[in-house]
């Protein structure tokens, strides 16, 4: 079962509103894994969507030596944590990755290792913007998406959002 299905099992909830409060990422500049200097992040006026657009370069092949860590926290504690080798994540993930592939010129066949190269995103938005997989209570949440190697965080995205019912 997909990691994001644990976090974001898509269910249309007409009474649910999701607002993005902030998105931070580390490192702030390019690193030896991904150069995302030419990416632009924008948030919709109503704060319900975050868009990614622009060019990025994957500087090294990404294989199973890298781990994808997904965490969901509420205001008090971690709710869900999943760790998978990169290629396993790409193969099994059914919400985030297909949406990313559809919005870009990235390889459609999910090769492993994922090849280094220059890629373009065209108005990609996080797929859980209007619906959530797991019905969440009203409150503030943080979702972390981390790429690790040998226990070290190489890239980390922190997405802060508020759920209102």
Is the omega angle on the peptide bond into residue 27 within 30 degrees of 0, that is, cis?
yes
Q: Is the pTM of this model over 0.95?
A: no
Q: What's the pLDDT at 15?
A: 52
Q: What's the pLDDT at 134?
A: 53
Q: What's the pLDDT at 3?
A: 42
- 152-164 vs 34-35, strand pairing mode: unpaired
pLDDT averaged per 10 residues in sequence order, the chain, 165 residues: 39 60 75 83 82 91 94 89 94 84 90 94 72 68 92 90 83
End-to-end CA distance of the chain: 27
Q: What's the pLDDT at 127?
A: 62
Topology classification of domain 3-164: Immunoglobulin-like (2.60.40)
């Amino acid at each position: 079962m997909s990691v994001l299905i644990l976090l974001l099992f898509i269910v249309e909830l007409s009474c649910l509103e999701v607002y993005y409060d902030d998105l931070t990422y580390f490192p702030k500049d390019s690193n030896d894994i991904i150069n995302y200097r030419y990416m632009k992040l924008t948030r919709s006026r109503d704060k319900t969507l975050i868009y990614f657009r622009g060019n990025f370069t994957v500087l090294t092949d990404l294989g199973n030596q890298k781990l994808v860590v997904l965490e969901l926290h509420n205001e008090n504690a971690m709710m869900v944590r999943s760790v998978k080798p990169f290629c396993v994540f790409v193969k099994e993930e059914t919400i985030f990755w297909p949406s990313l592939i559809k919005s870009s010129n990235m390889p459609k066949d999910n090769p492993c290792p994922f090849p280094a190269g220059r890629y373009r995103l065209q108005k990609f938005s996080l797929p859980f913007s209007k619906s959530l997989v797991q019905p969440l209570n009203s409150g503030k949440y943080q979702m972390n998406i981390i790429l690790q190697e040998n226990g070290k965080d190489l890239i980390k995205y922190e997405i802060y959002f508020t759920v209102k019912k």
